[in-house]
Amino acid sequence: MRILVGNIPLPSNRFLVDLNAAIAQNHELTHDHRRFWNREGDFDVVHLHFPEYLTNEVQQAYFDDALDDQMFSDIEARMAYWSARSKIVFTRHVLLPHLATTNPRWEQLYEMVYRYAHGIVHFAQPSIDEFNSRYSDTAFVHGPPQHVIVPHQNYCSLPNVISRVEARNQLGIPKEARVMLVFGAVRNDAERALILNTFQNIDDKNKFLLISRWREKLYHVSWIRLKYWLRDLTRLYYRLHPRFRLNYSFVEDNHTQLYLNAADVLFIPRLKVLNSGNITLGMTFGKVVVGPDWLDVGHLLRETGNVVFDPERPATAAKAMERGFNLASDSTLGKQNQELALSQWSAGQCADLYANFFRVLTTSSIRS
């Protein structure tokens, strides 16, 4: 089977890197956004992930929130071209782009590209239900797309050789601390407030907050030098605080194990979000995971016995974290999480599910 992955390279996205490598073990996979855009080659399947990352130009329009009519039309022309010659498959990661959820133009783009899809891959059933509701009135070019659930594959490709003791020693975390980890980007001020308020309200004298990529808030002062002096002063406060360890930049793959192995509970600081790879990340490293009871995130956390909070009532997150700490102390759930992630969610197993879905679509009599 010949497969074209039509997005720009995203080397920091382990999901894409590992999945593409696993599929390529048994199929001819080409990851080339230029061939997609230039309409070159003959492929059985065109696999897409994020419409905002189809090309570097589309990505820049996303960053600038500047999707104009010409670019919209150009994207639709490519979708029409490929859907007439190949099966278009989307993996649905998000409801809408993270940085453009308030601009209706991006919502229109998502609906447009889905109109040309033959198949949609989801991580859990709530995503299918939400998709069917959201696009109930959409005029799909090839009829309603087929749907399949494929788990988010595990992160066993990441190094995991550092012990809990070593990780805490390197990060300067006391051995008796009960560590709440926030891993990945904090996207907005609401998530920032959720993290701080949750941690503040946890009733545990040994609580400790570890954050891999903190979102700073600069003071609103006109003098630039003072603005950054105050930022540095705030950083110094957190650096000296005995219950905080904050990092401010992207964590490389080989250092991910430091944060995960030092932690007791992985906290997902989102409110209303479709998916989170941090569920699988935490479970791969044998951690208890706490997150919002919303769509796929809530479904997967409840299904695996992990802990949820009510995103309509963010104050419930502190009690959820306390329960997470108690479950982590027992260690049973963490071991069960890791066993599930390693035994059932390998990249190879998930790649086979993708390939089976591709095969179903390509053997379908519906081509136009």
Of 87, 7, 17, 81, give the one whose Cα is nearest residue 46. Answer: 87
**How far is the CA of 148 from the CAs of 29, 72, 114, 140, 184, in angstroms?**
20, 28, 15, 17, 27
Half-sphere exposure of 39 (CA within 13 A, CB side): 12
CATH architecture for segment(s) 164-344: 3-Layer(aba) Sandwich (3.40)
Q: Given this model, what pLDDT does residue 303 score?
A: 98
Structure tokens at 350: 């998930």
Q: Do domains 2-153+346-362 and 164-344 have the same CATH topology?
A: yes
Instruction: Classify each residue of 290-314 as buried b or exposed e, where b means 16 or more C-beta atoms within 10 Å of its C-beta.
Output: bbbbbbbbbbbbeebebbbbebeeb
**What pLDDT, in 10s, does the model give residues 285-300?**
999 999 999 999 999 9
**What residues contact residue 347 under an 8 Å CB cut-off, 6+ apart?**
18, 19, 21, 22, 153, 154, 156, 157
Q: How far is the C-alpha of 32 from the C-alpha of 124, rounded, in Å?
A: 28
The order of strands in the sheet holding 2-5 is: 28-31, 2-5, 45-48, 87-91, 119-122, 146-149
Query: What are the extents of the domains in the chain?
Result: 2-153+346-362, 164-344
| Residue, of 281 and 219, whose pLDDT is higher | 281
3.20.10.10, 2.130.10.10, 3.40.50.2000, 2.60.40.10: which CATH number matches 2-153+346-362? 3.40.50.2000
**What pLDDT, in 10s, does the model give residues 222-242?**
767 776 666 777 777 677 677
Residues of the chain with pLDDT > 90, as a percent, come to 83
